[in-house]
Amino acid sequence: MNNKNCVLLLFAIIFLSSCAVRPKKAFDAAKVPPSPDYSTLENWAAHPDKSDLADLSPSPNLPDLQKDAPVDVIFFYPTTYTGGLRKSSHQRYWNASVSDTKTNVKTDEGTIKYQASLFNGAGRVFAPRYRQAHLHAFFTKKDTASARLALDLAYEDTKAAFKYYLEHWNNGRPFIIAGHSQGARHAMFLIREMIEGTPLESQLVAAYIVGWPVKNNFFKTLKPCQSVEQTNCFCSWRTWERNYGLQKFTLKNLDNSPGFEKNVVCTNPLNWTTTDNVYAPKSLNLGGVVRPFEKIYTQITDAEVYNGVLLARKPKFKGSFLFQRKNYHIGDLNLYYLNVRANAQARTKAYLRR
């Protein structure tokens, strides 16, 4: 899938993407930000040797278990380098600097707190900062070559971070790979290049590749998870409003519309299968975490796999009447926060028993 067709997969509001500051010139390798030094904890948004927002929990009943965890979680966060609305914004380059304070705060207070934290019940959480590609890389129709180069640069950082982790902190420990949106894109390529078909594959508990399409033939050996406790497998889903999705993702539309694809793996995070048209009611939803972080919304929405996407009824939370978008990408993990947390724990326990 090319970058312009991935527009529908990103959490950004189209209005902001069209009005925000964005790259105006072609990608220039001579002007990219410096490479991150992963020996410095500042270049990790989350790390077990520092206090960070991935250590938080929305409830005392969901304790942070990282200290004694025998498993690690490598989390690649989604796009937070989106460009400001002011012309003076510095977010006008193809790739973010890992020392960009505003981007880092947005990353930490958003995706690290609201997404990476759900894994602290399963393992030690590592989330490397990387020179993420600008949001414009997924919208542009004219600068596709620059967009590809920006994404390649970001991916190289995730590889470097993973290599550093392996060399200094892994020590043969099992691990989970997780990512959302741009982070999921990097995660799937990293798994295929560095883990699949290598001795590391035996250390992979599971992968959560969420908010990015994964074709069913993308991996050679790694299979989609089909049960709650299956290990050495991957889960992936992209969430849409139910009625809209039933119209948009018909097989006819998949055949005739650019940007839509067949044979994409979709996992239902309420029953953990990839079976089409098996409805999972909201009663199975243990709880979503949107805003505020300390509020858990039980039975916030339902889920059903339909032609490669996940359909969900409009979630109910404080202020949800203002939530009118049909693409629920921004909530791929948050709408199923407690279910994903419990599942990561279940797969971890199953792996350790094995």
Going by pLDDT thresholds of 50, 70 and 90, the confidence category of residue 308 is very high
Note the pLDDT of residue 87. 55
Going by pLDDT thresholds of 50, 70 and 90, the confidence category of residue 128 is very high
Domain range list for the chain: 3-353
Note the pLDDT of residue 170. 98
Q: Is the pLDDT of residue 6 over 60?
A: no
Least confident of 3-7, 29-33, 101-105, 178-182: 3-7
Q: Is the pLDDT of residue 14 over 80?
A: no
* Residue 300 or 321, more confident: 300
Task: Give the mean model confidence (pLDDT) for residues 138-150.
Answer: 90
Task: Give the mean model confidence (pLDDT) for residues 55-70.
Answer: 96
Q: Average pLDDT of the chain?
A: 91
Q: Is the pLDDT of residue 8 over 60?
A: no
Note the pLDDT of residue 114. 98
Note the pLDDT of residue 262. 82
The rounded percent of the chain whose pLDDT value lies above 90 is: 77
Note the pLDDT of residue 200. 98
Note the pLDDT of residue 85. 60
Q: Is the pLDDT of residue 74 over 50?
A: yes
Note the pLDDT of residue 225. 98
Note the pLDDT of residue 13. 37
pTM for the structure as a whole? 0.92
Per residue, what are the HEC states of the chain?
CCHHHHHHHCCCCHHHHHHCCCCCCCCCHHHCCCCCCCCCHHHEEECCCCCCHHHCCCCCCCCCCCCCCCCEEEEECCCCCCCCCCCCCCCCCCECCCCCHHHHHHHHHHHHHHCHHHHCCCCEEEEECCCCECHHHHCCCCCHHHHHHHHHHHHHHHHHHHHHHHHHHHCCCCEEEEEECHHHHHHHHHHHHHHCCCHHHHHEEEEEEECCCCECCCCCCCEECCCCCCCCEEECCCEEEHHHHHHHCCHHHHHHCCCCCCCECCCCCCCCCCCCCCCECHHHCCCECCCCCCCCECCCCCEEEECCEEEECCCCCCCHHHCCCCECHHHCCHHHHHHHHHHHHHHHHHHHHC
Going by pLDDT thresholds of 50, 70 and 90, the confidence category of residue 343 is very high
Q: Is the pLDDT of residue 354 over 90?
A: no
Note the pLDDT of residue 5. 40
Note the pLDDT of residue 17. 43
pLDDT tens track for 111-126: 999 999 999 999 999 9
Q: Is the pLDDT of residue 317 over 90?
A: no
Q: Is the pLDDT of residue 335 over 80?
A: yes
Q: Is the pLDDT of residue 325 over 80?
A: yes
Note the pLDDT of residue 169. 98
Least confident of 95-99, 250-254, 305-309, 332-336: 250-254
Going by pLDDT thresholds of 50, 70 and 90, the confidence category of residue 99 is very high
Going by pLDDT thresholds of 50, 70 and 90, the confidence category of residue 321 is confident
